[in-house]
Structure 1
């Protein structure tokens, strides 16, 4: 996953010369102009030949922006071949035009045409709930499936609307930031982790578009709570970030409620999993705190 310019960096060249002085290292132009295009062509031809055998398929699509705020549309195909479920990213396409339902619908049709897919083959397309993508799917007369992960993300977000949770999550985020922007605190954390025989793990940050990242952040903070408290309390600027026992109880309630929900599923498992949510995973258990029960029983999670 390194950039191809690494082959022209002095340290990389010196390392390879040490490994084998006889090796002639290709330039970055060789990779950008020859090897990567060849690799792309080979892989595209292989996938196109495989898709010729596919009659029916499902699609997944979403719009997203790069770090430089350039818009893209990604389309993934899902199909069964030789009794195996397979997936492949067809295209990640630059999409500078307006994100209207008509433009998105046309782009989706173009992609299926470029790959010479059966125009009557899409059994379903999975999307989020954006009005433009809903309109696009309707324009193409395709069956739309709401993204299970996206719906679950929204439901969990609604279930987290509690002042106690807001405070505890805010403390977690500020704690992660305090260590992310200070090499000194990361060094101190590593030392304390060794002293307390805790795993030498870095803290995890939360992504606003992935509810699972909130669970990862909470679990990591709980795992490292003793080490974090020692490092934070040594600095008067970060001392207010030390978790109280009430905050720890809230985080443990979040962890207990969300951990069973962290595995995503394929379409055929959606209904059984929803039944499992209502009958088992989200059912109050002995030992659940009142906050854990309120999260589990939130109406959006039980729909």
Structure 2
């Protein structure tokens, strides 16, 4: 099968355990030599946890070479000790020394975690807070509004049922073809990724006509699933309309090969105007706007 898909691909063999480390060593020396020609650099640092609950720290360097912005992932290092700031600082320092750029780094971008604040302060590096993380934290504030949490729960229950029900999948595919809708599956949100909530609601609106078929009503009632009302549908439309700008703002500053710092103030100015409460707003939209901008304006 592998040969049919790509005849040029050579799958790893029993020699891979010696070839891959040798290849890594060569590439690492190439990176060190390239960074030796760089006078100033910036880094991004991110601590994260795997599915197996192991903690890792990833450090990426950003620099300009021959007029082009470049970036290299220097290391993803397992952190078996405490995630305290001084421990993180020691790990970052070790990676920078390993690649001989510890005196060249002038700034670091990291999330809003307190241990990163302590680590970068200890390393005496200028910290540029991750703007995307700031937008993410502001968007997650909507979960603290009880009315929105209850609405999200009803929507999530329907999405979970549609994803699990074999009857629903069959009916959806049939209706998608009949109504000329994209043959997309439903999306279930992940609490720590606010974009997934936006995408879940957006996909729900896209596929809503396909889920109105009467054949789905009895299975829903049998499973004691609370049916969504027209008011829930209206809230979904309002939600997408309001949060779409925040979603697009996240993408605007999620670019690897061009600087994005200059976009922050214009984006904040646009968001301030967009989230300003007006007399026409419903209680639902007003609560959304107040909660999101109330966090961002800090």
Please tell me the TM-score bracket, short chain as reference: 0.7 to 0.9
- Hey, what does 1:63 align to over in structure 2? 47
Confirm or deny: 8 A CA contact 1:256 1:292 kept in the other structure: no
1:163 aligns with 2:146: yes
1:259 aligns with 2:253: no
Question: Given the alignment, which residue of 183, 189, 211 partners 2:194?
Answer: 211
Structure 1 residue 96, shift from structure 2 partner: 0.7
Q: CA distance change for structure 1 residues 50 and 181 in 2, over 3 Å: closer, same or farther?
A: farther
- Hey, what does 2:257 align to over in structure 1? none
Confirm or deny: 8 A CA contact 1:72 1:95 kept in the other structure: yes
Structure 1 residue 130, shift from structure 2 partner: 2.2
Confirm or deny: 8 A CA contact 2:134 2:296 kept in the other structure: no
- Hey, what does 1:149 align to over in structure 2? 132
Larger displacement relative to structure 2 (283-292 or 149-158) = 283-292
1:137 aligns with 2:120: yes
Confirm or deny: 8 A CA contact 1:79 1:87 kept in the other structure: yes
Instruction: Report the TM-score when normalising by structure 1.
Output: 0.82
C-alpha distance in structure 2 between counterparts of 1:189 and 1:211, whole Å: 26
C-alpha distance in structure 2 between counterparts of 1:239 and 1:233, whole Å: 11
Question: Given the alignment, which residue of 203, 208, 215 partners 1:225?
Answer: 208
Q: CA distance change for structure 1 residues 219 and 39 in 2, over 3 Å: closer, same or farther?
A: farther
Confirm or deny: 8 A CA contact 1:282 1:297 kept in the other structure: yes
C-alpha distance in structure 1 between counterparts of 2:218 and 2:67, whole Å: 59
Question: Given the alignment, which residue of 241, 248, 271 partners 2:233?
Answer: 248
- Hey, what does 1:101 align to over in structure 2? 85
Question: Given the alignment, which residue of 175, 184, 200 partners 1:201?
Answer: 184
- Hey, what does 1:3 align to over in structure 2? none
CA deviations on 1:215-234 (whole Å, 9 max, x unpaired) are 11110011111222336424
Structure 1 residue 152, shift from structure 2 partner: 1.3
Structure 1 residue 200, shift from structure 2 partner: 0.2
CA deviations on 1:8-66 (whole Å, 9 max, x unpaired) are xxxx36x64x998xx997563244543x4455345434433332222222221122121
Confirm or deny: 8 A CA contact 2:158 2:225 kept in the other structure: no
C-alpha distance in structure 2 between counterparts of 1:105 and 1:27, whole Å: 36
Q: CA distance change for structure 1 residues 43 and 72 in 2, over 3 Å: closer, same or farther?
A: same
CA deviations on 1:97-147 (whole Å, 9 max, x unpaired) are 111211111100000011111x23222212222222211111111111222
Q: Could you list the runs of 5+ residues in structure 1 that have no partner in the other structure?
A: 1-11
* Secondary structure in structure 2 of the residue aligned to 1:28: coil
Q: Could you list the runs of 5+ residues in structure 2 that have no partner in the other structure?
A: 254-259
Confirm or deny: 8 A CA contact 1:160 1:295 kept in the other structure: no
* Secondary structure in structure 2 of the residue aligned to 1:174: helix
Question: Given the alignment, which residue of 166, 169, 174 partners 1:186?
Answer: 169
Residues 13-162 of structure 1 aligned to structure 2 (within 5 Å): 16=4, 28-34=13-19, 36-37=20-21, 39-117=23-101, 119-162=102-145
Larger displacement relative to structure 2 (72-81 or 228-237) = 228-237
Q: CA RMSD in A?
A: 2.8
Confirm or deny: 8 A CA contact 2:142 2:148 kept in the other structure: no
Q: CA distance change for structure 1 residues 184 and 77 in 2, over 3 Å: closer, same or farther?
A: farther
